[in-house]
Amino acid sequence: MLHQLRFERMLFRRNPSAAFFNFVLPLVLLLLVASVFADEHDELEILIPGIAGMSVMATTFTALAFNMTFLREQGILKRIHGMPIRARDYLGGVIGSAVINAVVQVVLVFAIGKLAYGVDLPDEPGAVVVYAIVGVAAFAALGVAFSHSIPNFDAAGAYTNAVFLPMIFISGVFYSSDELPAALEVIGNALPLKHVIDGLAGDASGAGLAVIAAWGVAGAILAVRYFRWD
């Protein structure tokens, strides 16, 4: 697994556009939106964990859905299937690489929030770490599962954005989800991202964690059940 993980890190470094979308784009969004609310500290306290949650989803769900679709379409998964590596070691390496990206990104977002905008870290860092771990694992599993429904690499952008964009709008990335219409709030509450963001904001709840975990388990089951090498 470590062997694969090291290789995946090299692949990531070799792909500047992936690095850009993973790291730079969320940070640019953060800076843009934060500049609008620069004087409103309350809004910034919502925005920083919101962007952190969005980054978790972008670096795991979106990146893995893209990546797996590419690997399958190129026949790279098929080649690997004929070689002596266990599926769990292979996927562990691929997912582990995405998890590293997610952790780096969350740390970056909180660091910028603290240093540039004076947004304090949540009171209970332990709870934040738990949420980050469960959230990252759930979105990684969902990303692999979702890749099975993407017919080809050209469609990957449309498919992932069809999930990603609505989700960030109803999960309180840019504004508090309390301001949403009731129907959308219900949907947002059923989805995992809002709870990841709440957790990263230090607003932890057992129910929220359970929702994330349930999505994660469902994602893992679907990811394994419908896994295709080609």
Contact call for residue 158 and another protein (CB under 8 A): no
Q: Torsion angle, CA of 201/204/210/213, rounded to 10 degrees?
A: 40
> Per CB under 8 A, does 186 bind another protein?
no
How many Å apart are CA 210 and CA 86, to the nearest integer?
Answer: 30
Asked if residue 224 binds another protein (CB under 8 A), the reply is no
Q: Note every long-range contact of 75-81, with CB atoms under 8 Å and residues 24 or more positions apart, other chains counting.
A: 75/230, 77/228, 77/229, 77/230, 78/229, 78/230, 80/229, 81/229, 81/230
Query: Residue 82, interface with another protein (CB under 8 A)?
Result: yes
Cβ 194 vs Cβ 173: under 8 Å: no
Give 200-221 as a 3 state SS string. HCCCCCHHHHHHHHHHHHHHHH
One character per residue 85-104, x = contact with another protein (rule: CB under 8 A):
xx------------------
- Does 226 engage in binding with another protein (CB under 8 A)? no
Element containing residue 63 per DSSP (H, E):
helix 63-74
Q: Counting contacts by CB under 8 A, is residue 78 touching another protein?
A: yes
> 36-75: which residues touch another protein (CB under 8 A)?
71, 73-75
In the complex, the smallest distance separating the C-beta of residue 8 from another protein, rounded to whole angstroms, is 10
The residue (of 8 and 43) whose beta carbon lies closer to another protein is 8
Number of chain residues interacting with another protein (CB under 8 A): 21
Q: What angle do CA 165, 92, 88 make, to 5 degrees?
A: 120
Residue with tokens 């394994």: 224
CB-nearer residue toward another protein: 14 or 178 = 14
Q: Is 76 in the site for another protein (CB under 8 A)?
A: yes
Smaller CB separation from another protein, 37 or 229: 229
Task: Tell me which stretch binds another protein (CB under 8 A): 43-51, 78-86, 117-125, 159-167.
Answer: 78-86
Which of the residues 6 through 35 are near another protein (CB under 8 A)? Answer: 7, 10-11, 14-15
Nearer to another protein by C-beta: 32 or 83?
83
Question: How far apart are the C-alpha atoms of 207 and 131, rounded to whole Å?
Answer: 12
For residues 146 and 220, is the Cβ–Cβ distance under 8 A? no
The residue ranges that bind another protein (CB under 8 A) are 3, 7, 10-11, 14-15, 71, 73-76, 78-79, 81-86, 229-230
